[in-house]
Structure 1
């Protein structure tokens, strides 16, 4: 079963989605949808309460909900309740929200766009660019971000080839790379930027993105060359890959006299330029 995870944007908020090629269906993170519709910062509790309510009423909708691994705010892959478009339409009926009807139209549009993208894959790149533009990012930053997604995918594919497990092992290696070049784990990096559920890479500056890409690309290249067989060997490779970017960071900071890793994010810079 081939699945492709992506982020969709509704009302300037992210909704994690997965496209199942065999079933030709979108699956949406239910807690993300609930957060969009209710503006609640406790969407997980809202969903648990809603499931209990539906069961009491004899509804079978929640019983048919599936679970897929989606990237969480800490960068790790975690099992998440997901629903296809038809199931979401039924759930939305139980969620009082003025955004319900616009959201239904959005769901229908997403399904149509995916079919178009299957005929012309370049459309998916164009739509990703449009989504970041809607969120207020500059075009130069977006180009870097799209490239970083490609590099990250190459790295995770290499990890899978080496038998690394998605989830905790991916997260551990990612933290090693991050800490090696930036001096901070993913969690510490997010705390510096004041992030909670937001994606760290979506809040990196151009320079931070470039150095993170260098670290991940170097890790992949070193792994391909050395062919690590154990998890410990992969951890050593991750450290080496991160160190490549650390050298570049130190050199840049020595030339500019400025710190690269800061609390500033890409949209902050754009806002200052506009002002």
Structure 2
């Protein structure tokens, strides 16, 4: 089953999703849905109680729901109760919530947008552009971010062609690249920037994004040229790709006298821009 993982936002709350390319349908995290609809401090417990009640009532809904591996807040992947759009519509009926109707409309929109994007992939880029602009990012930063998505996709496609597995192996290689050029694993980088669940790349400066792109593009090109066969060989290639960006970073720092990798995140950066505009 070919899957594409994504984070969807409903009223600024995250809902983990997986797109099943073979079935052409979305699967949504039930716990995340419960969290959105109920504002419960413990959505897992809420879902556990609800699941028990539905079973006692003879509902087939909980039986038909699947489990898929989704990334948790700690960055690891765990089996998670999921439901497709049709199942989620039925589940929502069992959860008293004033957000039920808006959430149903949101679900329908997500499904429709995905079908549109399959017919016209440029719509994916257009929607990403609109979302970043609405958050206050600069046009220059957005262009870099969209380019970084393209380069990342090329790298992961290269890894897949080498028989590498998504999840642990991809995460390990990504950490090696990041450590090689920035001196930080992904987790260490997020700690530096004061991030928790936020996306690291969405909180990089222009220069950080460019160097990360250079590291990933270099890794992909070196892999294509050297044809690594084992995971250990791919790890060496990842370090080599990261080192290409490290050399560029050190050269830049020697010319500017400023550190490239800093604690500055998107929230701080956007606030600086707003403050500057107010002063003007």
Question: In 2, Cα distance between the equivalents of 1:46 and 1:180?
Answer: 43
Displacement of 1:152 in angstroms is 1.1
SS for the counterpart of 2:8 is strand
Displacement of 1:45 in angstroms is 4.4
Question: In 1, Cα distance between the equivalents of 2:69 and 2:142?
Answer: 26
Displacement of 1:44 in angstroms is 4.0
- 1:5–1:17 Cα contact (<8 Å) kept: yes
Question: In 2, Cα distance between the equivalents of 1:122 and 1:110?
Answer: 16
State the partner residue of 2:220.
220
Displacement of 1:217 in angstroms is 0.8
The correspondence of residues 65-76 of structure 1 with structure 2, limited to 5 A, is 65-73=65-73
State the partner residue of 1:163.
163
The correspondence of residues 55-134 of structure 1 with structure 2, limited to 5 A, is 55-73=55-73, 78-134=78-134
In structure 2, list runs of 5 or more residues that go unmatched.
Answer: 276-280
State the partner residue of 1:211.
211
State the partner residue of 1:193.
193
Question: In 2, Cα distance between the equivalents of 1:79 and 1:145?
Answer: 30
**TM-score w.r.t. structure 2 length?**
0.88
Displacement of 1:167 in angstroms is 1.5
Question: In 1, Cα distance between the equivalents of 2:195 and 2:179?
Answer: 17
The correspondence of residues 34-53 of structure 1 with structure 2, limited to 5 A, is 34-40=34-40, 42-53=42-53
State the partner residue of 2:180.
180
Report how many aligned residue pairs link the two structures: 275
Displacement of 1:30 in angstroms is 2.5
Question: In 2, Cα distance between the equivalents of 1:174 and 1:206?
Answer: 19
**TM-score w.r.t. structure 1 length?**
0.89
Question: In 1, Cα distance between the equivalents of 2:40 and 2:260?
Answer: 34
The CA RMSD measured in Å over matched residues stands at 2.2
Question: In 2, Cα distance between the equivalents of 1:78 and 1:257?
Answer: 43
Question: In 2, Cα distance between the equivalents of 1:189 and 1:226?
Answer: 29
Displacement of 1:19 in angstroms is 2.8
Is 2:7 the partner of 1:7? Answer: yes
**Higher relative contact order structure (alpha carbons within 8 Å, sequence separation ≥ 6):** 1
